[in-house]
């Protein structure tokens, strides 16, 4: 993945995003698995973001990139009187590749209009 250096603004966003822990983080045998939830994002938007990060859509819910695979799922979350759809993205692959794509994806999702 052609990773561009982080801007000063991206480093600030990264610091804010790092305060939110993932739903799941497992590392073993030189493989990393991270699951994060995103509200206000559709599965098709998530696929588009992953494709823009050098991924290729394999099927409706799977995108593969250099050193990583992302699988999408959805769930409904009650928020007061409302119910929101949350897109769950699980990345698996080499630690360096997964860490890089998760950060870039989160920055894209963070900047996206709601």
Task: Provide the pLDDT confidence category of residue 1 given band limits of 50, 70 and 90.
Answer: very low
Q: Calculate mean pLDDT across residues 88-108.
A: 93
3-state secondary structure 17-39: HHCCCCCEEEEECCEEEEEEEEE
> Alpha carbon 31 to chain centroid distance?
17
Instruction: Report the alpha-carbon distance of residue 75 to residue 84 in Å, rounded.
Output: 8
Give the pTM. 0.83
Of 15-19, 25-29, 80-84, 85-89, which gets the smallest average pLDDT?
15-19
Bridge partners (DSSP) of residue 69 are: 64, 92
CA 94 vs CA 14, 34, 78, 99: distances in Å: 20, 11, 34, 9
For the chain, which domains are there?
A: 24-111 (3.30.1370.80)
Phi then psi for residue 66, to 5 deg, are -65, 105
How do residues 44-79 score in pLDDT, each as one tens digit? 999 999 999 999 999 999 999 999 999 999 999 898
């Amino acid at each position: 993945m052609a990773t561009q250096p982080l801007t000063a603004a991206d480093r600030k966003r990264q610091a804010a995003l790092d305060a939110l822990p993932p739903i799941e983080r497992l590392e073993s045998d030189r493989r990393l698995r991270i699951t994060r939830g995103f509200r206000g994002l559709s599965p098709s938007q998530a696929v588009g973001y992953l494709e823009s990060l050098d991924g290729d859509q394999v099927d409706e819910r799977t995108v593969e990139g250099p050193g990583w695979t992302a699988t999408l799922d959805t769930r409904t979350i009650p928020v007061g009187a409302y119910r929101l759809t949350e897109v769950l993205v699980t990345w698996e692959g080499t630690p360096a590749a997964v860490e890089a794509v998760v950060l870039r994806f989160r920055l894209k999702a963070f900047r996206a209009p709601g």
